[in-house]
Amino acid sequence: MMRYIIIVDWHGEACLNLGMSILTQSLSRRCFLERLSGLGVVLTGGPLLAQRAIGQSAEATPNGPVVLFPGPWQFQLPKGGIIIVSDQQLEDLTDPDKEVDLSLSSAPNRTTLRRICEQQQAAGARTVILAFDEFWSQYRPGQGGKPRELTPDTEAYIQRIAKISETMKRYGLGLELSLLSPLEIGPGYVKQTGESGRWVQFREGWRDPNTGKFTVSLWEHLRWTNNKGTIELQRTDISVFAFRERRIGRTSFYVVPPNEISELRQPIEVEVAEPKNAKYRRLTVRGSGDIEVGPKDRVMVLVSYSVPEMDYFSPFAFPFLEDLVKRYHAAGVPLNGLYADEMHIQQDWGYADHHEEGQFALRYVTPHMAAKFAELYGPGYADFDPWLVYFIYGQHGFLPDLQAKLPAQHVLGDRPEDVQQTYLLRRRYYELLHNTVVELFAKAKRSAEKLYGHELEARAHATWAQSPTIDFWNVRNQAMPPRQYEYTPDFLWSNTVQQAASACSDYFKWNEFLTGGGNDHAEGGWSDRNYYGLALACSTGSLNRVPNAYAAAWGMPAEVHSRHRALENAFGCSPDPAFAAVFDYQHREVPVLMLYPTSLVAVEERFGSWMVQYGYCNYVTPSKLLEHGRIVDGAVDLIGRRYGTLAVLFEPLPPPGLLEFMEKFVASGGKLIWSGPPPRYDLAGADVLGQWQRLFGIKALQFAHEGLVVAGAQVEFDGALRGVEPQTILTDFLVDLVYPVEPETSAETVARIGGRTVGVLKPAKNGGAVTFLGFRPRDDQAASLGSETRAWFEVLRRLGAYGGDDDPSVVSRTSPWLATRFPNGALAVAAHYRRHIESWPGGFHRNAQQDAEILKANPLPPDTLDLRGLKLSGHTIEYCGNLIMALRLDENGQLAAFAGHNCHRVIVDGEEHAFADRNLPFIAWAPVIASRRVQRGAVMELWVQGEGQVAVPIRGGLEHGRLMLAGAKPGHAAGEVPAVIDKAVLRFEAGPGKARGHMYLVQT
């Protein structure tokens, strides 16, 4: 008898059919197995939920599906998967009866392609993922550090996939391939076009201005490894540029005039140390002479590498991708989807070992990229290499004084405007790289969909490292995760710059390629106790063509993971099926929109893509705001979601049109808050400071090149913000600089530091208002520093962003419960998980005994929901249960949908809704929405665990129906169970052999 593995989540839904392989239904490559332990039980011997009710015949069962899976509901469909870790495994799979080791843990898993196909066919799957992933080579022999020869852009790979496809098509299965992924396109592209990617590495050093002698050492890169295996870099050139620098006062800015950067022409001497590992070796570059360039006492050594990847700016790039897909199509490969985990250009998995004197010193620059930059911004950029001087950061270790410790930057000139122009240069570089890569692959995806005649699902996320998750604090021998909620003096460096240089830091741009999207912020043991990753998933998901994203978590005890999963459900982030049904598979809604700080890494690369980790808003990049945003009745409308308050976190380089958009928003009655530095230029290079000052009621700036250092000082609030607790400025970092101003007489001072005005509020017509906060408002519900800070929340609340005390965000910050509201009117309440300090190792696979001991010493907070008269969104709720509860009322105030643990009733607005005669471990129901319905199909979905008499209210006048167990195939019914409909109530008995698990109420 064939053995299946069915993963049953904790409310009884058969959601993952592994078929002795894997499934990545809604999760990232690394987190889906971690989720299994948190979701439920592994069962063998056949699908539990496909059992027929006693006494029912197969003839009584509908032949076809009783529900459909449109839009995000498609994420509930089973999908098998085969993850390979070597070329040999791909070769072996061409023989459908040859056993292959597909282990994903220490437990061995040897199977064949035919068995996988049989199992997936039985489970009703249409698609099987087949992809290479280096991560899993820790459990079985992989490439052994050798580069792959069989990559998806080679004819040999296509031939093998075609042969594998022949077997799969016999079972009605198609493939999801890691095909249109930058990491997968390399050897074949290089062979066909003669082009490759080019990365450059820069190192600053001292040069004797009299003799021209210099000696500079740096780490030469030999190999990089990422989730698509190992690649070898080839050093192709070393060039040297001489320049002079001059410090601006006592700042960290050093002026380097662009016209004084000179390339040295004398031959250089290169010394290579013998490598002790295969990844890098020490390279020393020496030179002398070139006295004619003048007394220039600095050099930038630039090492160029040829990397086996695309030149994404080449005119050959798109034709190659288009032709590649045509070759798969011609070979008869049934392509159903695009495996899209970690959609970045070539880089190495190492988080912090590509540095020169603490700086990530690598950038992607090809001649075609330089030509495009010159076309956009001026012919002076045609040779982009000298401009990399302005990307060097903190490489002054050769200086004889304390300047060697400064986070030094090279800038274009002495004036504050010149500093801003330097930021603009770097911002344009990152934006051009990011946009070009995303748009190239999005265009190729659209072309592939046209060729194949259907949508190609591409469900995953862009980056392999998140900020703050993979940022670094100098915690010495202490655990890092508890520190990763706030910028504190022990903060060292953010991984964002590596992601930005790899074209994957902008989740919102990658939305143009990905289906649904998502993030892995809560990975490696960090619990995201400020709910930042959850809010970010809601933000990208709500803008996606398929509007739902995941917020995955792994690297924590199963009990902790279950708490995070409850929060994912409460936010509507790839929710479990029962909660998806209550919410109509939508994300929660909030009235506050914050601009994602895309310019931060361009201003100072040490810092991440966050200024605050705030979970009670949605985020959007300025460019996506302008692309999708409309102003409607005093609110920003983003694809149907409305926000009455717009807040800026850090945006000194707004895109053209942003300030005009803000002016119209405020004039229509919207509330606008700008925190951090004012802008001097927009991304087009236009001077916008005057326009910004007029909008915010600022007469004059009281700072020069940068904000002021006031570490340890307190922000005191006044006026409209009086009552907000004073906030301490923690550091002297860029993120904590303050920007004092002189307000116009029409504006009100609302915040001061040491007598200086750093907060200004200016009323506008139609009830609108603009507020400038010249500092970083902090907010940390996790209380990571020992006490909670809530400046952003209190500021927003006092400015009227959240409405009344029963607003879900207000309830969440003033009670033990997380509360959310959904566009269809559903409400959810979950036990907060915000103060349980991370104390566990962050490994992927868990040691259950070790985790139990950890949680014994560091107990979980209670998950009890004891709601007594909870005021929420105009309703009063009485309820007792555990973990999470969700409900939805119909237009008459009657209970239309519900999901909850260990409960039997809920009282809403004084009306009791008793749905069981005793507490059930889990119960849920919801009407099937119109887009999912089929003729004579299901009108309601239900989930039940436990034993007892159940009475579920039915709306819509239904008098007859059949209660049926969900079948093994998605959307199909199995056997009928006894039930009656009496006076608009569906009554049945739950228990073994009776009503249980996932069920459908089918029309008759």
Is pLDDT above 80 for 49?
no
Write the pLDDT tens digit of every residue in 845-880. Answer: 899 999 999 999 999 999 999 999 999 999 999 999
Domain assignment of residue 108, given as a range: 1-50+70-193+315-341+428-462
Tell me what pLDDT residue 1 has: 31
Residues whose CB falls within 8 Å of the CB of residue 409, separated by 6 or more in sequence, listed in order? 252, 253, 254, 390, 392, 393, 422, 604
Contact present, 308 and 190 (Cβ < 8 Å):
yes
Q: Cα–Cα distance between 441 and 998 in angstroms, integer?
A: 39
With respect to residue 41, please indicate whether it lies within any of the assigned structural domains: yes
The two structure tokens encoding residue 931: 């887009």
Q: Cα–Cα distance between 390 and 417 in angstroms, integer?
A: 15
Mean pLDDT value across residues 282-307: 97
Is pLDDT above 80 for 2?
no
Buried b (16+ CB within 10 A) or exposed e, 387-399: bbbbbbbbbbeee
Pair 160, 235 in one domain: no
Extended beta strands in 88-170, E state: 100-101, 110-111, 127-132
Pair 164, 180 in one domain: yes
Mean pLDDT value across residues 545-551: 97
Position 274 confidence tier, pLDDT thresholds 50, 70, 90: confident
Tell me what pLDDT residue 28 has: 46
Pair 543, 403 in one domain: no
- What pTM was computed for the model? 0.94
Write the pLDDT tens digit of every residue in 58-67. Answer: 446 888 999 9
Is pLDDT above 60 for 461?
yes
Q: Cα–Cα distance between 626 and 624 in angstroms, integer?
A: 5
Tell me what pLDDT residue 10 has: 32
Position 41 confidence tier, pLDDT thresholds 50, 70, 90: very low
Tell me what pLDDT residue 119 has: 96
Pair 354, 446 in one domain: no
Mean pLDDT value across residues 457-483: 95
Is pLDDT above 50 for 900?
yes
Contact present, 350 and 523 (Cβ < 8 Å):
no
More confident residue, 320 or 765: 320
Contact present, 952 and 925 (Cβ < 8 Å):
yes
Query: What is the phi/psi pair of residue 908, to 5°?
Result: -125, 125
Contact present, 1004 and 80 (Cβ < 8 Å):
no
Query: The tokens 């904590």 sit on which residue?
Result: 736
Q: Cα–Cα distance between 713 and 754 in angstroms, integer?
A: 8
Pair 647, 694 in one domain: yes
The two structure tokens encoding residue 536: 């970010």
With respect to residue 214, please indicate whether it lies within any of the assigned structural domains: yes
Q: Of 809, 830, 862, which closes a domain? A: 809
Tell me what pLDDT residue 60 has: 65
Pair 374, 296 in one domain: yes
Write the pLDDT tens digit of every residue in 813-836. Answer: 999 999 999 999 999 999 999 999
41-45, 144-148, 406-410: the lowest-pLDDT one = 41-45
Q: Is 58 helix (H, G, I), strand (E, B) or coil?
A: helix
Is pLDDT above 50 for 1002?
yes
What Rg value do the Cα atoms of the chain yield, rounded? 29
Pairing relationship of beta strands 592-595 and 645-648 according to DSSP bridges: parallel
CATH number, domain of 537, equals 3.40.50.880
With respect to residue 882, please indicate whether it lies within any of the assigned structural domains: no
With respect to residue 675, please indicate whether it lies within any of the assigned structural domains: yes
Distance of CA 485 to the CA centre of its chain: 17
HEC letters along 599-668: CHHHHCCCCCCCCCCCCCCEEECHHHHHHHEEEECCEEEECCEEECEEEECCCCCCCCCHHHHHHHHHHC
Q: Of the candidates 65, 185, 180, 84, which has an alpha carbon nearest to the alpha carbon of residue 126?
A: 65
Summary mean pLDDT of the chain: 93
With respect to residue 10, please indicate whether it lies within any of the assigned structural domains: yes
Q: Cα–Cα distance between 666 and 673 in angstroms, integer?
A: 10
More confident residue, 43 or 193: 193
886-892 long-range contacts, Cβ below 8 Å, gap at least 24? 886/569, 886/570, 886/579, 886/582, 886/583, 886/826, 886/827, 886/828, 886/829, 887/582, 887/826, 887/827, 888/582, 888/583, 888/822, 888/824, 888/825, 888/826, 888/827, 888/926, 889/825, 890/955
Pair 238, 95 in one domain: no
Please give the C-alpha separations between residue 173 and each of 16, 21, 122, in angstroms, as whole numbers: 17, 15, 11
Contact present, 608 and 599 (Cβ < 8 Å):
no
Element (H, E) at 593: strand 592-595
CA geometry: angle at 885 spanning 884 and 890, to 5°?
155
Q: Of 809, 843, 867, which closes a domain? A: 809
Q: Is 428 helix (H, G, I), strand (E, B) or coil?
A: helix
- Percent of the chain exceeding pLDDT 70 equals 94
Tell me what pLDDT residue 352 has: 82
Q: Cα–Cα distance between 362 and 475 in angstroms, integer?
A: 26
Write the pLDDT tens digit of every residue in 560-592. Answer: 999 999 999 999 999 999 999 999 999 999 999
Distance of CA 782 to the CA centre of its chain: 20
Q: Cα–Cα distance between 783 and 681 in angstroms, integer?
A: 37
With respect to residue 819, please indicate whether it lies within any of the assigned structural domains: no
Pair 438, 557 in one domain: no
With respect to residue 784, please indicate whether it lies within any of the assigned structural domains: yes
Within a 10 A sphere around the Cβ of 448, how many other Cβ atoms?
Answer: 21
Q: Cα–Cα distance between 374 and 425 in angstroms, integer?
A: 12
Q: How large is the angle between the packed helices 155-169 and 317-330, nearest 10 degrees?
A: 40
Position 114 confidence tier, pLDDT thresholds 50, 70, 90: very high
With respect to residue 333, please indicate whether it lies within any of the assigned structural domains: yes
Which residues sit opposite 100 in a β-bridge? 111
Pair 142, 1 in one domain: yes
Pair 393, 261 in one domain: yes
Give the chain's domain count.
Answer: 3
Pair 227, 288 in one domain: yes
Pair 129, 273 in one domain: no
Largest CA distance in the chain: 99
Within a 10 A sphere around the Cβ of 701, how many other Cβ atoms?
Answer: 18
